Amino acid sequence: MSDTRDLFAHVPRAQFDVPGTAGGLLDVFRWHYLLRLLVRTGVTTRYRNSVLGWTWSYVRPAAQFLVFFVVLGIFLSLDKGIPNYAVYLFSGIVVINLFSEGFKNATTSIVGNAALVRKVYLPRQLFAVSAVIVAFVHFLPQVGLLLVVCLFFGWIVHVSAIGVLAILAGTLLIMVFALGLGLFFGALNVRYRDSENIVELLLLLATWASPVLYFWTMVADVLPDWLLRVYLLNPITQAVELYHFAFWRPISEQTDPDRLAALPIPPDLALDTLWTFLIAVVVLWLGQTVFRRLEGRFAQDL
């Protein structure tokens, strides 16, 4: 009987993988077929046995918009200071919804897939990445509705290549930031379920800590310069302002240029986009580092 070890005698050791090692987020690309399966499952099961189905993707942002518009736009008269306040408000809401759903679902992705984590080996990061992609798929109907409204106001006439780039940059920025935070809190949530409550609090603050409901200069009037810089370098704030720049400003330049002149673009918007991308990437690296450090005990903790 031949010794099977002879079969591998001439194979370089570099060709072998050390058992238990993983490539982190790089494994997501290697297991892309499984990622597609998780995304497809997440999209198709979201509204299973639901009467309205995908209509819920419009109902929630519409309800949010109506509540904020009535309370802030009409009762507090913000619509008098901000032209086309409805477009301004809704373009910020869709960004917050993308962040909220991606961040929250990524945080609960490991616990929600406990059966797979305990029984099958696969890169655990797949669950968080697929959660953010599913959030992006559910975000598309909302941004599609925003686009239809903007087209009605003549947005297509004033759209520019810079505006399109701002939309893409804002979307990518918020997804990278949500994924980084989702990996961090998702790893902690396996052992400490308080993480879900912390995330709920952060999401409650996110809407008010970025210029979704108000104009950024209202914050500039009350904050010192250094704290204003921190506020403007918040990736959520930057993504919201990129959407305002792409959707709301072209419409307001056409319909109400006089009032728009009193509402300046945040200083260094382009440069701050690069800085906030760097911040989002650092958050992603930190989340991935914590995730990889803790994932060895996921099966036991679950």
At residue 111, the pLDDT reads 85
pLDDT in tens, 47-74: 666 655 666 666 677 676 677 667 766 6
State phi, psi for 8 to the nearest 5 degrees: -110, 15
pTM: 0.85
Size of the chain, expressed as the number of residues it contains: 302
Own/partner pairs, 70-79, CB within 8 angstroms, 24+ separation:
72/213, 72/214, 78/213, 78/214
In terms of C-beta density within 10 A (0-12 exposed, 13-18 middle, 19 or more buried), how is residue 174 classed?
A: buried
State the average pLDDT over residues 41-46: 77
DSSP string, 229-283: HHHHT-HHHHHHHHHIIIIIHHHHHHH-HHHHHTSPPPTTHHHHHHHHHHHHHHH
pLDDT in tens, 124-173: 888 899 999 999 998 998 888 888 888 887 777 778 889 899 999 999 99
Query: Do residues 93 and 274 touch, judged by C-beta distance below 8 A?
Result: no
The CA distance from 221 to 199, in Å, is: 29
Nearest to 169 by CA among 245, 258, 89, 249: 245
At residue 19, the pLDDT reads 47
Residue listed under structure tokens 């029984």 = 119
DSSP letter at 121 equals -
Tell me which amino acid residue 299 is: A
State the average pLDDT over residues 267-287: 94
Residue listed under structure tokens 């797949």 = 126
Decide which of 87 and 298 is more confident: 87
The CA distance from 120 to 293, in Å, is: 19
User: pLDDT class for 204, splitting at 50, 70, 90?
Assistant: confident
User: pLDDT class for 192, splitting at 50, 70, 90?
Assistant: confident
Residue listed under structure tokens 């497809």 = 40
Neighbour-count burial for 28-39, b at 16+ CB within 10 Å, e otherwise: beebeeebeebb
Decide which of 219 and 56 is more confident: 219
